[in-house]
Structure 1
Amino acid sequence: MSELNSLSPRERSGKSWQTEVEVTHGTGLHARPSVTFTRLAKSFPCAIEVLVDGTGDWLNGKSIVKIMGARIRRGTRLHIRAEGARAEEAVVALCELVRRNFDDERKHGRVDGRPV
């Protein structure tokens, strides 16, 4: 939860939270990372939306169709916002997931692209 301390006050308003994170996963949000992201988003009762830099449209963060359809590539900045119960926790968890590259390499016996 230390990530919360780095969120500026303008990113907080009542039960609404927002932050941004850069996608560093080698292939961006292809099928597996998109499923991992939306599964985690669905585990929270709040509304979650994602804005892909340069698009202007907020997407339903719980929709695999919307997230995969955005064709999010490495280097893209995502704005993640949540509103409602557990919004703060949801934003932090999703941001950390993106920073951990969706735990994709760990699931496949690799760390930093090398077998473990």
Structure 2
Amino acid sequence: MHRFLSMKRLTILFFSVFAVLITGTVVFQSYWLDPGERCEKDGKWYDVESRTCATPIYIPDITGRPAGVTRAEASNAQNRELLGLEREVANERRAVNAQIEQQREEFINGPAN
């Protein structure tokens, strides 16, 4: 009697399935996992869900505040600068109003000679 699954055929089948599984593992490793490791090795961020290798952005480049300064410190500095500008504008308005008042007095009373 001739068996369909003889020992020789089972051995070939086993090694064929084993080779396919090993090849699949190598392909999975090289095309799915290695890009993330290469990206992180270059100092970038790798997103597994979208498979995106992105360059990290330095936060002070976005916010414009110096490195090492907290958000509260930067906000306080900007507020102080804004208050200084508001004081300058108020002083300029007072000076303009005083000049207008002086010119009005000169117009009504005539030049003071």
Structure 1 or 2: larger strand share? 1
Instruction: Determine if the TM-score, normalized by the shorter chain, exceeds 0.5.
Output: no
Which structure has more RCO (C-alpha within 8 Å, separation ≥ 6)?
Answer: 1
TM-score by length of 2: 0.18
**Bigger CA radius of gyration:** 2
TM-score by length of 1: 0.18
